[in-house]
């Protein structure tokens, strides 16, 4: 019975999102402003069930953009409307459910998961995640936890869960995601709580952060994290590191094979995703998660500036890959390629695509699982189609 439910879980959620989309009008807006990088003028057409299309559009502009509502479209009209508007904007970004993205939208969109999760194979030896050169950052974070006198305490009290929800989780979600925040309802957490629990992070006996989880025979799933009153300074103290480490040790004690961390936006600059990487966790695309569909008519300087600012995770032949433009005016050097690779490499990524507007210096070699894209050689071919189909291969330079 458990195996059947596990297979049905993603399909059930995907169908639910599709039915909801059929009943909902999609606001189509034009956002205008200047980019965070280089201050270039930018125009983005966004479409979604929430104003502004949400993340990552809100990462593009240096300040709040000007918004103009163009229309409201049913799902089945949205592809045609966006196709007609594409030549009039630098970028088009639409948020739709996973099934609609697959069935209605062509391959000239990058399919970006709204949310990805990070999964960690529970180590047999709990000392192994902190061993070796690559674990230097994690060791420093755990040392900060000790310096700030942070300890963790396990609770199975429903009253504690309600305190965590109202005083920690919701304030933190709203502070971190702003207008894009969509906190999970308390009844959902309460319904799952009988199969899990809650860890408190304490400092000198005072609750400063918390994280709830659900545990099965094979996996412990961390559902949400939060700080007291949404205070981000508590994160800097190491509270989330302490909570994640407590979850890993608890999963080890229960005999679980994996820990699944709470979901993060599909952008590699997101801080919550990057700190989970320190534990050795790998990226997993939640197949039923809504898609953010990205396209452009011309790979102009504004689009390149956006791709340099926001390294997106997208679907390439059924696997999560990432794309980033190198912000260089001349041919990219080996050091610049290596620096970008070190920043982007994350377990679970199928391929890293590095774009250079001016190409690459002679004898530059691609790091492992990396594709070097000289934008001068692509010509009129649609880059999104080439990327999603895997047609570019290992190198294109």
Is 107 inside any structural domain? yes
| Stretch 219-248: mean pLDDT | 94
Residue 393 lies in a domain: yes
Q: The domain containing residue 175 runs over which residues? A: 116-285
d(CA 31, CA 45): 6
Based on the domain organization, do 137 and 103 belong to the same domain?
Answer: no
CA atoms of 320 and 177, how far apart (whole Å): 23
> Does residue 56 lie in a domain region?
yes
Does 210 have pLDDT greater than 70?
yes
β-strands 352-356, 110-113: how paired?
A: unpaired
CA angle 121, 212, 57 (to 5 degrees): 80
Q: Please check whether residues 74 and 30 belong to one and the same domain.
A: yes
Q: What is the pLDDT of residue 389?
A: 67
Report which listed range, 57-61, 139-143, 385-389, is most confident: 139-143
- Does residue 347 surpass a pLDDT of 50? yes
Report pLDDT for 390.
Answer: 64
**pLDDT for the residue numbered 167:** 97
Asked if residue 381 has pLDDT above 60, the reply is no
Do 121 and 109 belong together in one domain? no
Q: Is residue 389 part of a domain?
A: yes
Same domain, 339 and 379: yes
Let me know: does 120 contact 259? Beta carbons within 8 Å. yes
Arithmetic mean of pLDDT, 143-158: 96
List pLDDT tens digits, range 269-289: 887 788 888 888 999 987 777
C-beta of residue 277 within 8 angstroms of C-beta of residue 120 = no
Query: Within this chain, do residues 318 and 382 fall inside the same structural domain, yes or no?
Result: yes
- Domain membership of residue 306 (yes or no) is no
Residue where a domain stops, chosen among 113, 139, 155? 113
Average of pLDDT values for 114-120? 89
Q: Is residue 249 part of a domain?
A: yes
Encode pLDDT of 294-328 as tens digits: 999 888 889 888 888 889 899 888 889 999 999 88
Question: Does 299 reside within a domain?
Answer: no
181 and 274 together in one domain:
yes
**Residue 235 scores a pLDDT above 80:** yes
Domain boundary among 67, 84, 113: 113
- How many domains are contained in the chain? 3
Percent share of the chain, pLDDT over 70: 88
pLDDT tens per residue across span 62-109: 888 999 999 999 988 999 999 999 999 999 999 998 888 888 887 789
Domain boundary among 113, 136, 167: 113
Domain match, 38 and 179 both: no
Looking at 230-234, 340-344, 379-383, which range is the least confident one?
379-383
What is the mean pLDDT of the segment spanning 33-40? 88
Any domain includes 303:
no
pLDDT at 375: 85
Q: Are 152 and 268 in a shared domain?
A: yes
260 shares its domain with 206: yes
Kindly state whether residues 268 and 171 are assigned to the same domain. yes
> Does residue 318 share a domain with residue 243?
no
The enclosing domain of 253 has a CATH number of 3.40.630.30
Looking at the structure, tell me whether residues 181 and 225 fall in a common domain. yes
């Amino acid at each position: 019975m458990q195996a059947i439910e596990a297979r049905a879980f993603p399909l059930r959620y995907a169908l639910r999102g599709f039915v909801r989309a059929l009943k909902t009008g999609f606001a189509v807006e034009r956002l205008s402003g200047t980019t965070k990088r280089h201050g270039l003028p930018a125009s983005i057409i966004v479409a979604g069930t929430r104003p502004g299309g949400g993340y990552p559009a809100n990462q593009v502009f240096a300040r709040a953009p000007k918004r103009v509502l163009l229309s409201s479209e049913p799902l089945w009209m949205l592809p045609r409307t966006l196709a007609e508007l594409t030549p009039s904007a630098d970028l088009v970004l639409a948020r739709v459910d996973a099934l609609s993205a697959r069935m209605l939208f062509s391959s000239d969109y990058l399919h970006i998961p709204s949310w990805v999760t990070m999964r960690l194979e529970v180590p047999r030896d709990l000392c192994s995640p902190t061993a070796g050169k690559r674990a230097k950052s994690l060791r420093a974070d755990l040392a900060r936890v000790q310096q700030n006198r942070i300890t963790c305490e396990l609770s199975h009290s429903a009253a504690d869960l309600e305190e965590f929800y109202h005083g920690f989780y919701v304030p933190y979600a709203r502070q971190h995601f702003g207008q894009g925040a969509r906190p999970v309802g308390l009844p959902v957490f309460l319904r799952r709580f009988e199969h899990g629990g809650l860890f408190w992070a304490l400092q000198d006996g005072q609750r400063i952060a918390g994280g709830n989880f659900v545990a099965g025979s094979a996996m412990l799933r961390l559902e949400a994290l939060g700080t007291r009153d949404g205070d981000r300074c508590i994160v800097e103290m190491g509270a989330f590191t302490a909570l994640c480490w407590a979850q890993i040790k608890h999963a080890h004690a229960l005999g679980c094979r994996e820990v699944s961390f709470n979901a993060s936006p599909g952008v590699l600059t997101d801080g919550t995703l990057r700190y989970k990487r320190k534990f050795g966790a790998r990226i997993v695309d939640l197949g039923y998660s809504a898609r953010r569909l990205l396209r452009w008519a011309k790979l102009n300087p504004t689009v390149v500036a956006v791709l340099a600012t926001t390294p997106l995770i997208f679907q390439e032949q059924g696997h999560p890959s990432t794309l980033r433009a190198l912000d260089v005016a001349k041919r990219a050097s080996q050091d610049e390629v290596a620096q970008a690779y070190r920043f982007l490499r994350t377990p679970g990524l199928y391929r890293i695509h590095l774009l250079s507007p001016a190409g690459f210096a002679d004898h530059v070699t691609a790091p492992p699982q990396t594709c070097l894209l000289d934008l001068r050689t692509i010509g009129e071919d649609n880059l999104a189609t080439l990327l999603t189909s895997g047609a570019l291969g290992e190198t294109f330079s």
